[in-house]
Every structure is written in structure tokens, then in C-alpha cells.
Amino acid sequence: MLIGLGLGPGDPDLLTLKAVRILREADAVFVPGGIAEKLVAPYRKAEVLSFPMTENEATLRTAIGEAAERIARVAGTGTAVFALLGDPNVYSTYARLLAVIRERHPEIPCRTVPGVSSITAFASVAGVTLSGGFSVSDGKGEKGRILLKVRRPREEAERLAREGFREFVLVERMFLDGERVYRGELPEESTYFSILYAER
């Protein structure tokens, strides 16, 4: 198994209890650089993998492929953890690494464990309150949109479809009793604790 593990925004006190437990229990831990290695160090030794900071796509693909094969040697029979700053599913190296693992080694189960995201950490450090609507982008355009507290998900999806969105995922009562994930056909109504993701 491969676990993509979020280490949070860089403060060692912001690692989650779950992250610490997984780091201690894993057969091997891999990290993409020195900052992540330092965050992991109090709990176990990690192997630093090379991901060059380059815009040369061929060089980057080679590095990701080599890292994927190194991780697969552990994940094929045990638990390999790829631990990185932030959250594994938000603008991270893990997304590309995961795609290669799934293509080359589809038999390896993969999952992610969230970390404190840089977005929520930023709000605390900057002393700003993020309420009402706001956008997050890497400057390359809006591929997806997240809506919080969605009480009428089917209606929202129909509205978003008129803006060009085509894929929808609703998570209701995340990490609480009665958690449900809907893809495709969405319910007419959902609870206050609902998040809708729409992708173009």
C-alpha cells in the first residue's frame, strides 16, 4: 500500500496525530526534500527522493518514474508512505507520482491522509478571516470549484453545469458518523456538513 501523507505547512506542531501514527507504523517513509525530512525525523528515518526543480518535462518525468519504482518495491508487499508538506491532494508532487504508480502498478492500493493545508495556515499567519466566497488558483485558470455547506446539491450541480462544469463529487458528514460520498447522481438535499466539488 502507498499512503500519501500531508505534513502540514511546516510547523512541526501542526502534524496531525494520525500522521504521527502512520509515520511510526509504516514499513518505509519517503520524502521529497529536506524540510519534509526534518518534520519526519522525530518519529523515524526517511529516504529523500530526488525531484529536481526544473521546467524540463523529460527530466522531471524521469525523476518521478525512478521515485515511483523505488516506492513500489516497498508498497507492493508492505506500507510505503510518501510524506510531504501541505496536503497530498492540493498542488503537490504526490499527484504526479500517484498517476505513475497507478499506471505501472495498478495492483498497489493507494490512499491519502490529509494535512493542514497552506490555505488555512495562511489565514492564521496573515490574521485574515476567510468567509464568504474566495478563489484559490495557481494562475493557470479554474479547473475545479469547491462549495461548502451545500444544502441543495442537485440544484447547485445543475447551475454549475451551465458554467461548463461536468464532474461532481459530494461528501456529506466528512469524518463523522454517516459519512457518504456521492459521484454522478447527487441527492436533492444534504446536511449542513456537505462539500461539493465540481470539475470542468
**pLDDT of 137 over the 80 cut:** no
Class level of CATH domain 2-119 = alpha beta
Section 149-164 average pLDDT: 93
Quick count: other Cβ atoms within 10 Å of Cβ 97?
A: 26
C-alpha 153/C-alpha 11 separation (Å) is 36
Mean pLDDT for the stretch of residues 89-103: 92
Confidence (pTM): 0.84
The Cα-based distances of 149 to 39, 139, 169, 173 in angstroms read 33, 26, 14, 10
pLDDT at 56: 85
pLDDT at 112: 96
| Cell numbers placing 154 | 442537485
Say whether pLDDT at 76 is over 90: yes
